[in-house]
Amino acid sequence: MSRWWRRVAVLVLVAVGGQVALTLLDFDPDPLRWALMATTGVTLLWLVLDVLGIGTAPWDEPLSPYARPDAADDSVQHRVVANHLAARDPGPALHRLLVGLARARDPALSDPELRALAEEAPRRLKATDIDRYLTRIEQPHDDD
């Protein structure tokens, strides 16, 4: 909407400024005809600029570095960890989450501790154990 207000303001400035300039130069312009001619000229100019000035679509631009498309996954993962730590008898959700993250990072599970986690039955993990497993999952590894 502000784009149109700017265009109307430019049109008014061109019409009034042209009228004043032509009057000062002693051309004695007819205000109605001058306004119509200025409107036609400026409108044609905007039409050409709009047709030739096609930019990229705003949805084609890359996401800003602070946009997190996986923010919903983070909240789910946070709930899984919080529920595991608070539960009297925790289920296998955290075990599946950790093994899934480990396999996504390294499908062969070359880390012996992560391989042992995948092979054992789900059990209660302390916060330090969860932190240790996540640290091992995030560690860079060689694909040789």
Summarised one tens digit per residue, pLDDT across range 85-118 is: 888 888 888 889 899 988 988 888 888 999 999 9
In this model, does residue 134 exceed pLDDT 70?
Answer: yes
Tokens 């996986």, residue located: 70
For the stretch 21-48, pLDDT in tens is 999 999 999 999 999 999 999 999 988 8
List of residues 6+ apart from 95 with CB closer than 8 A = 117, 122, 123, 125
pLDDT value at 52 more than 70: yes
State the pLDDT at residue 105: 87
- Cα within 13 Å of Cα(57), Cβ side: 2
Q: 118: closest CA among 142, 89, 98? A: 98
Burial class (CB in 10 A: 0-12, 13-18, 19+), 134: middle
Say what the pLDDT of residue 73 is: 60
Query: Distance between CA 131 and CA 129 in Å, rounded?
Result: 5
pTM: 0.48
Spatial contact of 38 and 15, defined as CB atoms under 8 Å apart: yes
